[in-house]
Amino acid sequence: MAHTRSLLTSAISTASPQSIALARLTRLSSSHLADGCATCGVTIDGFTVSLEPADPSMRCSGRLFVAASVHGTHWLDSTIRSAASGDVVMVPFFIPELKCSDLKMLEEAGAGGLLMLSNKLPQPSLKAVRLPIFGLRNNRTNEELTQFGAPHTDTSNPPCLDRRFVVADADGIIVVPGSRIDEVTRAALLVREQKNKVFGAMCFGRSLRAQTGFPAFLRIKRAQPNYSFQKHLRLHGSNPVLL
């Protein structure tokens, strides 16, 4: 089996055709992607509570590949055969013996990251691995992750996760449908740019109150009780998502 795995290490296929969206994802945090989803009205698939990175600085992004536990085939072998370079691998079932060599093999094969829904973080093994790894801390359980598959049973790729994209960092893990990834990443980059402008103006002494025209909003609100702040922001060219 070890010899077979060594032959498979370079077997990952070329990247998916949605390279523009993938490139955008590398520039976005999970919070940016969540902003993009809110702007586009896309329901966010995320599991931010129980999974944490092995190191706070770790992040990963890319197409989400859900590993399958197939009878007679090691999950790592089937993953390396089927995943594309840069894919973020999610393992929805428990891995009885997760070895440092397995992590190194995924890293060498070009995986973008590893999300383990049912395993504790293998702290002693991480020193030699640069692969972004997310897993359960000692005080966490996988009870809140069941919508992404049945963790402790053999399972094929959950249908809800086919053709999806992900950004994972210390602030959370956000999953977006592939059918909406282009518009969501466009919107997320726009919101990020707008936020940077707002924060930049604040650094130069222009308060958020001034930038949003809040005194003017109060004057209109007194005359028009149904006038909302969200409407005010839109009329003045601001994005409500910023707040």
What is the value of pTM for the model shown? 0.71
Give the pLDDT score at 62: 92
Give 15-66 pLDDT, tens digit per residue: 544 788 888 999 999 989 999 998 898 887 665 556 888 888 899 999 999 8
pLDDT tens for each residue of 68-88: 766 666 788 888 888 888 899
- What domains does the chain contain, in order, with CATH numbers? 2-179 (3.50.30.40), 186-242 (no CATH)
Q: Are strands 51-53 and 133-136 parallel, antiparallel or unpaired?
A: antiparallel
Going by C-alpha positions, the residue among 124, 76, 110 that lies closest to residue 96 is 76
Instruction: Give CA–CA dist 5/2, Å, rounded.
Output: 5
Q: What are the tens digits of pLDDT across the range 151-186?
A: 333 334 443 445 889 999 988 889 998 889 999 999
Cα–Cα distance between 39 and 223 in angstroms, integer? 29
Looking at residue 46, its pLDDT comes to 61
Largest CA distance in the chain: 77
Going by C-alpha positions, the residue among 243, 186, 201, 231 that lies closest to residue 42 is 186
